Amino acid sequence: LIDRGQAEHSVITTCAYCGVGCSFRAEMKGEEIVRMVPNKDGHANHGHSCVKGRFAIGYATHPDRINTPMIRQKISDPWRIVSWDEAIAHVASEFKRLQATYGKFSIGGITSSRCTNEETYLVQKLVRAGFGNNNVDTCARVCHSPTGYGLKATLGESAGTQDFDSIEQTDVVLVIGANPTDAHPVFGSQMKRRLRAGARLIVIDPRRIDLVRTPHIQADYHLKLKPGTNVAVLDTLAHVIVTEGLVNEDFVAARCEHDAFEKWRTFVAQDKYSPEAMEADTGVPAELVRRAARLYATGGNAAIYYGLGVTEHSQGSTAVMAIANLAMATGNIGREGVGVNPLRGQNNVQGSCDMGSFPHEFPGYRHVGDAKVRASFEEAWGVSLYDEPGLRIPNMFEAALDGSFKGLYIEGEDIAQSDPNTQHVTAALEALECVVVQDLFLNETAKFAHVFLPGCSFLEKDGTFTNAERRISRVRKVMEPKGRYADWEVTQLLANAMGYPMHYKHPSEIMDEIARLTPTFNGVSFDKIDQLGSIQWPCNAQHPEGTPVMHVEEFVRGKGRFMLTEYVPTSEKVNAEHPLILTTGRILSQYNVGAQTRRTANVMWHDEDRLEIHPHDAEERGIQDNDWVGIESRAGQTVLRARISERMQPGVVYTTFHFPGSGANVITTENSDWATNCPEYKVTAVQVTRVSQP
Ligand code: SF4
């Protein structure tokens, strides 16, 4: 974004990239954005910003935007531009035909963390009330679904426990499977300020992330574990806490279920979970684990921050529960400066999950099988609702391939690029009879679409996003929708055409309905957010101005529940054919699959994905810096340029996944979390060889 001179007016809105949720003032001259200025009154960012939120907005007006609806009969046909009326009527008629031919469960919808809360709520309402099934899912499936599962099981609420500012009271910061300085830069900077002010630091990560050693910061302990062994390391930390008498007995006695705790205590005390016994599996020296455990348990207020390096594993949900166990065992929960803090990847992952976009839950994380809850939605929505969970995204792919699932409405999600094992995903998409993509660009998924509906960038949206600290902030329209309709209006048009009436006039009316039907949102309204600046849910009669810290007097579920977290090694093994482990992550200037940031000046900083490899592994293979390398897994192969880096440990390679040509997900496997099907992006056995330029 080039600074274009004096502004005439400004609009306060919220960044649409990461889960920090920074507030910005979009300064405008007429219809043009002059500059994005971080809002000093923003509750999540206090006037700070990063290169994405501040500069990477050019995609909104990029010539690649598709602003007219398009249809084609077969995916090999050319697109035909049509009116909105024709496009909506076509989708409704196709979806009705599919349900009449193959049954009501043959269609479904996928929403995205790019959507506002109100848009997501409408998509799940369309599926549940309009389609008559629960086949709705969200891209949170592939990132933080284990957080929802693990925190609900242990603490009773599927959300982080603290606000970001709580870190100002933290004495020990434990970061596991997260890289905040790249992926959550504004909070990463706040963390660095706290560390420079004297807080101690434990990092658990296979790679030497910046936080481990950066000016004036040196991690006290870096547990450089082998990818796939999070649960083993967390269990060894618990073993030390239990066997060295570091449990906060008073807290546990007062706040946690006695029997579950005693079972857990016996479980983690087993010799097999001693750091010494686990050293060969985890690769972490036992003494380092012991010291880190002592620091976490006795160093004062200790807070755990984690990211996708925890969740995107076959034991993602187990690891989340193991983290909650540690916090409860040491009493590091329920006050400022402590807690369990998932760093959400996308701007509205938290909100997407809150709004009922999982196939088994209504808004507010209430199971579709709960008759009382279902009755409240049936009364409000005027239909009878199905009582069994619907298909998750991976189940949709399976059902498409077995012929029982035929139509899919996708709003704001590029599943063909972002989901693992691309070949499997594209085969499933090809098997569908009607794929509807509502998006900004003809993305990878749109290559398999029969209908394209223009979507809106965040600059064209009115609504709310909810960040990683449960903070609901307003997104305000800066420019009119390029394709005529706002995203929520498109969903409403589709619902009406399908025969399920919706008559909202503004997203605030959707939020009013969410508030009426969702106990944790009872007190939320656009007016109140405007008045307070932002609100952290729960916000209701008990917490009229929101809740920065949860589980203060008691856990949401009453007593905290310790869960047994058996370490089960991933089935993705290295062998002679695939001797290295590939793990993945993000870089500061780019964002996820890059659909937005690749279309901005941010490509100046990073214009390709590279394979990071340790010097020993590179030397063994005759690889020099910048050489092209072939990467082959059991699922597929791709080619990238190499970056030789001592950040890596021998035996582990790493890449980002921002550019479609890099094919990171061509090589990731179908392994997934046992509880939620979140893909195991972080562990893929590969071979790397030097190749000539592709
Ligand atoms: Fe946007 Fe996240 Fe950067 Fe804030 S830290 S400006 S929310 S990308």
Convert the pLDDT of each residue in 356-381 to its tens digit.
999 999 999 999 999 999 999 999 99
How many angstroms is it from 46 CA to the middle of ligand 1? 12
**In this structure, how many other beta carbons lie within 10 angstroms of the beta carbon of residue 25?**
18
| pLDDT score of 133 more than 70 | yes
Q: Would you say the CB of residue 53 lies under 6 angstroms from ligand 1?
A: yes
CA–CA gap between residue 153 and residue 157 (Å, rounded):
8
Q: Would you say the CB of residue 18 lies under 6 angstroms from ligand 1?
A: yes
User: Does 2.40.40.20 match the CATH number of domain 580-690?
Assistant: yes
**In this structure, how many other beta carbons lie within 10 angstroms of the beta carbon of residue 378?**
15
How many angstroms is it from 86 CA to the middle of ligand 1? 38
Asked whether the ipTM of the predicted complex exceeds the cut of 0.95, the reply is: yes
Q: Would you say the CB of residue 473 lies under 6 angstroms from ligand 1?
A: no
Amino acid at 203: V
Q: What is the pLDDT of residues 514-573, one digit of tens each?
A: 999 999 999 999 999 999 999 999 999 999 999 999 999 999 999 999 999 999 999 999
**In this structure, how many other beta carbons lie within 10 angstroms of the beta carbon of residue 335?**
16
CA–CA gap between residue 72 and residue 646 (Å, rounded):
50
Say what percent of the chain tops pLDDT 90: 84
Q: From the alpha carbon of 18, which atom of ligand 1 is closest?
A: 2
Tokens at residue 551, please? 């589980």
| pLDDT score of 587 more than 70 | no
Q: What is the 3-state secondary structure (H, E, C) of 391-459?
A: CCHHHHHHHHHHCCCCEEEEECCCHHHHCCCHHHHHHHHHHCCEEEEEECCCCCHHHHCCEEEECCCHH
Q: Would you say the CB of residue 44 lies under 6 angstroms from ligand 1?
A: no
| Residues facing 655 on adjacent strands | 584, 611
Q: Which of 41-45, 56-60, 76-80, 527-531 has the lowest mean pLDDT?
A: 56-60
Domains 70-142+348-456+480-499 and 580-690 share a fold: no
| pLDDT score of 296 more than 80 | yes
Q: Would you say the CB of residue 20 lies under 6 angstroms from ligand 1?
A: yes
Cα 242–Cα 244–Cα 247 angle in degrees, nearest 5: 45
- 8 Å CB contact between 537 and 520: yes
- Mean pLDDT for all residues in the chain: 94
- Give me the sign of the Cα torsion angle 25, 30, 33, 35: negative
- 8 Å CB contact between 350 and 606: no
pLDDT of residue 1: 47
Q: For the chain, which residues make up each domain, given as ranges?
A: 9-56, 70-142+348-456+480-499, 145-342, 580-690
Strands, sheet with 407-411, edge to edge from the N-terminal-most edge strand: 80-81, 70-71, 451-454, 434-439, 407-411, 107-111, 136-138
How many angstroms is it from 18 CA to the middle of ligand 1? 5
- 8 Å CB contact between 383 and 500: yes
Q: Is 258 exposed, middle or buried (0-12, 13-18, 19+ CB in 10 A)?
A: exposed
Tell me which residue has its CA closest to atom 6 in ligand 1.
53
How many angstroms is it from 417 CA to the middle of ligand 1? 22
- Confidence grade of residue 586 (pLDDT, cut at 50, 70, 90): confident
| Greater model confidence, 52 or 166 | 166
Q: Which of 5-14, 162-171, 429-438, 611-620 has the lowest mean pLDDT?
A: 5-14
Q: What is the pLDDT of residues 230-261, one digit of tens each?
A: 999 999 999 999 999 999 999 999 999 999 99
How many angstroms is it from 53 CA to the middle of ligand 1? 5
Q: What is the pLDDT of residues 645-674, one digit of tens each?
A: 999 999 999 998 766 666 677 888 889 999
How many angstroms is it from 68 CA to the middle of ligand 1? 30
3-class state of residue 193 by DSSP: helix
Question: Measuring CA to CA, how many Å separate 609 from each of 413, 583, 657, 658?
Answer: 21, 13, 6, 7
pLDDT of residue 667: 84
**In a mutational test of the pocket of ligand 1, which residue from 40, 184, 346, 473 has the highest number of ligand atoms less than 8 Å from its CB?**
184
What topology is assigned to 70-142+348-456+480-499 in CATH?
Answer: Rossmann fold (3.40.50)
**In a mutational test of the pocket of ligand 1, which residue from 17, 191, 344 has the highest number of ligand atoms less than 8 Å from its CB?**
17
Tell me which residue has its CA closest to atom 4 in ligand 1.
22
Q: Would you say the CB of residue 560 lies under 6 angstroms from ligand 1?
A: no
Q: Would you say the CB of residue 49 lies under 6 angstroms from ligand 1?
A: yes
Print burial letters for 384-418: b (CB count within 10 Å at least 16), e (below 16): ebbeebbbbbbbbbebbeeeebbbbbbbbbbbbbb
How many angstroms is it from 175 CA to the middle of ligand 1? 19
Q: What is the pLDDT of residues 407-451, one digit of tens each?
A: 999 999 899 988 888 889 999 999 999 999 999 999 999 999 999
How many angstroms is it from 24 CA to the middle of ligand 1? 10
How many angstroms is it from 41 CA to the middle of ligand 1? 15
Q: Would you say the CB of residue 24 lies under 6 angstroms from ligand 1?
A: no
Work out the average pLDDT over 460-468.
97
- Specify the residue for token string 């990461």: 18
**In a mutational test of the pocket of ligand 1, which residue from 36, 186, 469, 589 has the highest number of ligand atoms less than 8 Å from its CB?**
186
How many angstroms is it from 69 CA to the middle of ligand 1? 31
Q: Would you say the CB of residue 185 lies under 6 angstroms from ligand 1?
A: yes
| pLDDT score of 390 more than 90 | yes
Work out the average pLDDT over 41-64.
90
How many angstroms is it from 349 CA to the middle of ligand 1? 14
Tell me which residue has its CA closest to atom 3 in ligand 1.
50
Q: From the alpha carbon of 51, which atom of ligand 1 is closest?
A: 3
**In a mutational test of the pocket of ligand 1, which residue from 1, 23, 52, 54 has the highest number of ligand atoms less than 8 Å from its CB?**
52
Q: From the alpha carbon of 17, which atom of ligand 1 is closest?
A: 8
Q: Would you say the CB of residue 310 lies under 6 angstroms from ligand 1?
A: no
User: Does 3.40.228.10 match the CATH number of domain 145-342?
Assistant: yes
CA–CA gap between residue 240 and residue 265 (Å, rounded):
11
Q: From the alpha carbon of 53, which atom of ligand 1 is closest?
A: 6
- 8 Å CB contact between 598 and 56: no
What topology is assigned to 9-56 in CATH?
Answer: N-terminal domain of TfIIb (2.20.25)
Amino acid at 462: D
Q: Where are the extended beta strands (E) located within 277-358?
A: 302-306, 339-342
Q: Using only the alpha carbons of the chain, give its radius of gyration.
A: 24
| pLDDT score of 3 more than 60 | no
Q: What is the pLDDT of residues 88-130, one digit of tens each?
A: 999 999 999 999 999 999 999 999 988 999 999 999 999 999 9
